[in-house]
A and B are shown apart, each in its own frame.
Chain A
Amino acid sequence: AQSVTQLGSHVSVSEGALVLLRCNYSSSVPPYLFWYVQYPNQGLQLLLKYTSAATLVKGINGFEAEFKKSETSFHLTKPSAHMSDAAEYFCAVSGPTGGGNKLTFGTGTQLKVEL
């Protein structure tokens, strides 16, 4: 079975500060890992994905994540937070066999950006 754990259900940062959202995974097979963002009253939008190529993955809106097998982690970062980054962020894991593998989501981290 696969699972992800997101540490911290709420994270608050100042505008311009570093954003770090934590995700650890558990998987018996090489994982594919994803970060999604959800704005209020909207669906989930893919930020970035790791599918066994480069371990440092760059996504949209200036976000990136690094796959660290030794730490079973896939933390999401952004050097400088913007007010528009305030949203809920979900880490998800799947197996390596393509779209047929269901995504298993973490419980989400609500990011608040303060002036």
Chain B
Amino acid sequence: DAGVIQSPRHEVTEMGQEVTLRCKPISGHDYLFWYRQTMMRGLELLIYFNNNVPIDDSGMPEDRFSAKMPNASFSTLKIQPSEPRDSAVYFCASSFGWGYTFGSGTRLTVV
């Protein structure tokens, strides 16, 4: 199993640009989570899906953030427009029962 696959690994973009982060969960996992990690705020849950349906998006910081899961094998997190304070490492994780598996993350830098 290749694990949870995130792309890109690194993204540098200019303020105001649209950024799309991608995640491929482990096959058979029915939950998918998006987390953000910063020095100041630690690990924050942004949104999670069950069977492709968003369950809780209360952690999404602003309307500039949106997430979709069009099918069981793919999810995106979009930021439009991006701002410097969005700079962070974004992790995707998937689970079935208690087997949470995290991807390697996308390091986003907004300049």
Contacts and interface: CB of A to CB of B under 8 A. Distances in A.
A108 interface: yes
Q: Is the interface of A mostly helix, strand, loop or mixed?
A: mixed
A106 B102 CA distance: 16
B98 A102 contact: no
Interface string A28-46: 0000101010000111111
A114 B39 CA distance: 24
A99 B104 contact: no
A107 interface: yes
Contact of B100 (A42, A99, A106, A107): A99
A38 B43 CA distance: 12
A36 B37 CA distance: 14
Contacts of B48: 102
Interface of A: 32, 34, 36, 41-46, 49, 51, 90, 98-100, 102-108
